[in-house]
Structure 1
Amino acid sequence: MTRRIGLAACQMGPVQSGTSRAEVVGRLIAMLERAAAGGAALAVFPELAFSTFFPRSEIADETLLDSFYEDGFPNVETAPLLYAARRLNIGFAIGFAELIRDGGEARRFNSMALVDRSGTLRGLYRKIHVPGSEAPEPGVTVHLERRYFAPGDLGFPVFDLDGVRVGLALCNDRRWPETYRMLCLNGAEVVLIGYNTPLYLDEAPALAHLRMFHNHLPMQAGAYQNTLWVAAAAKAGLEDGQALIGGSCIIAPSGEMAALAISLQDEVIVHCADLDLIAACRRVNFDFARYRRPDQYRRIAEA
C-alpha cells in the first residue's frame, strides 16, 4: 500500500512591528484551516512566525527585546494554535524566538516546535547555523542574529509523527549540506523548513537577480542528494521596510518542485507526498548502506 502524507507550506505575508500576538495567531489558524481543508496532515510555518523579523534592528531596550521572545511554548498567547491543530486533526511546525531563564542567566535561541495532530508538542529544534553579526557592519545589510541568538544545542533530531520521520531546520540551515545529510542519516523522510530572507543584500548587489535561485537551489539539492521530501515556508513581502523574497515550496526527493507559492502574502500550498518515492530515488542513486563508504573517506583524508 502506498504511503502518502499531505504536506502544506504556510507562507506568511509581512508581520509589522507592533502587530499583536493575537492577530498573528489568528492569521496562523486561518492558514492551518486552509491547509487542513486542502488535505494536509502536516504543515510548516516560517521562522520567527509570531513577530516581525526583529534581528534586522538594533534593540537596546531589554524589555522591548524580551517582548519578541516566547518564555515557553505553548503559552497563553500561542495555545489557540495548538487547540486548532487538535480540532482540525493536523500537525505543524513553527519557528519562534525562545527565551530560557536559568537562574540569573537568559539563554536565547531561534527555535522551531513540532506539534502533532492532537495538538501536543512533540519536539523542538534550535537553529545551528546562526548567520549575521553581533553589531552592524558598514555596507552590509543589518542582520544581527548572532547578537540575539546562541547556536542551537540540540543537534539535528528526527521525530516520529504518526509513522512519518520528520526533521526540522531554519533559514540559513537550508544552505548547508550537512543539515540534510545529518537529518537523512538520522532517519528523516520529511524535512520542514521555515525562513525569513531579504530580497536584497547591500554587500552583494551583483547577485540580486540570483536570490530566489539561491533560495531554492540548496533545498532542491538537499532533497535530491538525501532522498527527502522538503516543505519550506517563508515570510514574504515588505516587512518594516525590508523586502522578503517568499518562494515557499514543497520539493520531492527527486529534486523536483512539487508546489510553489506565487504571491508575497499569506498563502497555503499543499501537495500529497508519496513517501514511497523516497525508496525509489534511493534505489536509483543513493542507497547509502550499499554505496556510502565513510571508512574510505577517512583513509583518503589521513593519507
Structure 2
Amino acid sequence: MREIVIGAAQMGAIQRDEPRAQVVDRMLALLEDAAGQGATLVVFPELSLTTFFPRWWMEDQAEVDSWFEREVPGEATRPLFDRARALHVAISFGYAELTPEGRHFNTQILTDREANVVGKYRKVHLPGHDEYDQERAFQHLEKRYFEPGDLGFPVWRSQGAIMGMCICNDRRWPEVYRVMGLQGVELVMLGYNTPSVNSQMKAEDETKRLYHSELVMTAGAYQNATWVVGVAKGGIEDGHPLMAGTIIVDPNGFVVARARTDGDEMVVHACDMDACDFGKKTIFDFARHRRVEHYKRITEQTGVILPE
C-alpha cells in the first residue's frame, strides 16, 4: 500500500484589509492540525494569501502588483515553509505570482517534505473578462490581471506517487485531467475561489454551483483513475459570498471526505495511491483503448463549428 495522509486545508474568507502575516497564521494553524492527524501533505486553496482581488476593478498597476508575490518563499510566507519543514509535511498552495520579468500568473506550487519547491503550475483556463462589465452583478477580472499559464500540465514524482496540479476553472475542463492522466497521474491537487452566485445568471444558486463543482472533480477522478483533492475558500469575503465544498475524491469517483463548514477547516484522509491501479489497467487502460486518430478536433479547434 502506498498511502499518503492528505490534509485538505479549506480556508474561510480573507478580507481585503487582512494582512498576509495574519493569513499565514491561519494557514499555520491548519498545518498544525493536519500534522497532528498524521498528514504528510497539506493542500491549500487558490490565492491562499489574499482576498480574491480579481473581483475589484483597478487601474493603478502598482495597486494590482501589491496583491502579487515576487518570490516564494518570501518574507510573508517563510514562516509557513519553516514550520512545514520542521513538521516534515509537504504543502501545496496557490498565490498570485509576479515574475522577475514582470509577468503575472495565477500560480500553485508543491513542496517536498523538506519544504523545497518541487513543482509549479500556472492556471491555464482563466475565466471572466478583461474590461469593466456593467452587465455583471460583480466583476471577474482574471483575464485582466493574469496571463494564461505557460507551463502546461506537468506532473511530478513525490512521496512515492505521481502528482499534478490545476486551479479553479481548470477543474471544469476534461482535457486538464486527461493530459495529466496520460502521464500516469495518481493525485490531482486543486484549489479554488468560486462565487456562490453566478454574476451572469441569478437562477444558478449555490446548490447548483456546488453540484457542478463536485460533478467535474468526481468525473475527472473516475475517468483518469486518480485521486482528486479539491480545496475551497469559502464564506463572505469583502461582502461577496464564496462557496466552500472542499472534497477528497477517490480514483473511482467517490467523495470519501468533505468539509462541513464554509470557514477554516481541515479535512484529512488516508489516500492509497495503489487504488489507482485497477482503473488504469482495465477500463481506462489508455494504451489499449484510446483511439487518437478520432480526437484531432480537440487540439485543432477552439470554438464550435456547426454542421452545414
TM-score by length of 1: 0.94
Gaps of 5+ in 1: none
Q: Name the CA distance, whole Å, in 1 between partners of 2:247 and 2:79.
A: 26
Map of 2:258 onto structure 1: 260
Q: Name the CA distance, whole Å, in 1 between partners of 2:274 and 2:83.
A: 30
Q: Name the CA distance, whole Å, in 2 between partners of 1:98 and 1:298.
A: 33
The alignment partner of 2:84 has SS state of helix
Percent of counterpart pairs with the same letter?
A: 45
In the TM superposition, what is the alpha-carbon distance from 1:93 to its structure 2 partner?
0.7
Q: Name the CA distance, whole Å, in 1 between partners of 2:295 and 2:233.
A: 39
Map of 1:101 onto structure 2: 100
| Partner amino acid, structure 2, of 1:68 | W
Find runs of 4+ consecutive structure 1 residues off by over 3 angstroms.
295-299
In the TM superposition, what is the alpha-carbon distance from 1:285 to its structure 2 partner?
1.6
What is the aligned counterpart of 2:135 among 128, 136, 139? 139
Map of 2:200 onto structure 1: 203
In the TM superposition, what is the alpha-carbon distance from 1:281 to its structure 2 partner?
2.3
The alignment partner of 1:205 has SS state of coil
Q: Name the CA distance, whole Å, in 1 between partners of 2:282 and 2:222.
A: 11
The alignment partner of 1:40 has SS state of coil
| Partner amino acid, structure 2, of 1:184 | G
| Partner amino acid, structure 2, of 1:43 | V
Map of 1:28 onto structure 2: 27
Map of 2:47 onto structure 1: 48
Gaps of 5+ in 2: 301-308
Summarize the alignment of residues 1-303 of structure 1 with structure 2, pairs less than 5 Å apart.
Answer: 2-102=1-101, 106-140=102-136, 141-208=138-205, 209-295=207-293, 297=295
In the TM superposition, what is the alpha-carbon distance from 1:101 to its structure 2 partner?
3.2
Q: Name the CA distance, whole Å, in 2 between partners of 1:85 and 1:29.
A: 9
In the TM superposition, what is the alpha-carbon distance from 1:77 to its structure 2 partner?
1.3
In the TM superposition, what is the alpha-carbon distance from 1:277 to its structure 2 partner?
1.1
Q: Name the CA distance, whole Å, in 2 between partners of 1:174 and 1:125.
A: 13
Q: Name the CA distance, whole Å, in 2 between partners of 1:179 and 1:203.
A: 25
In the TM superposition, what is the alpha-carbon distance from 1:297 to its structure 2 partner?
4.3
**Superposition RMSD in Å:** 1.6
| Partner amino acid, structure 2, of 1:168 | M
Aligned residues: 297
The alignment partner of 1:206 has SS state of coil
Are 2:2 and 2:160, in contact at CA under 8 Å, matched by a contact in 1? no
Pick closer, same or farther for the CA change 1:292–1:59 going to 2, 3 Å: same
Q: Name the CA distance, whole Å, in 2 between partners of 1:163 and 1:76.
A: 31
| Partner amino acid, structure 1, of 2:177 | Y
Are 2:122 and 2:151, in contact at CA under 8 Å, matched by a contact in 1? yes
Q: Name the CA distance, whole Å, in 1 between partners of 2:273 and 2:44.
A: 21
The alignment partner of 2:232 has SS state of strand
The alignment partner of 2:195 has SS state of coil
TM-score by length of 2: 0.93
In the TM superposition, what is the alpha-carbon distance from 1:295 to its structure 2 partner?
3.4
The alignment partner of 2:100 has SS state of strand
Q: Name the CA distance, whole Å, in 2 between partners of 1:296 and 1:95.
A: 36
User: Which range moves more in the overlay, 272-281 or 241-250?
Assistant: 272-281
Are 2:4 and 2:159, in contact at CA under 8 Å, matched by a contact in 1? no
The alignment partner of 1:101 has SS state of coil
Are 2:4 and 2:273, in contact at CA under 8 Å, matched by a contact in 1? yes
Pick closer, same or farther for the CA change 1:237–1:298 going to 2, 3 Å: closer
In the TM superposition, what is the alpha-carbon distance from 1:217 to its structure 2 partner?
0.5
Q: Name the CA distance, whole Å, in 1 between partners of 2:60 and 2:292.
A: 49
| Partner amino acid, structure 2, of 1:112 | Q
In the TM superposition, what is the alpha-carbon distance from 1:284 to its structure 2 partner?
4.0
Q: Name the CA distance, whole Å, in 2 between partners of 1:112 and 1:297.
A: 29
1:3-52 C-alpha deviation (Å, 9 max, x unpaired): 11111110000000111111111111110111111121111101001000
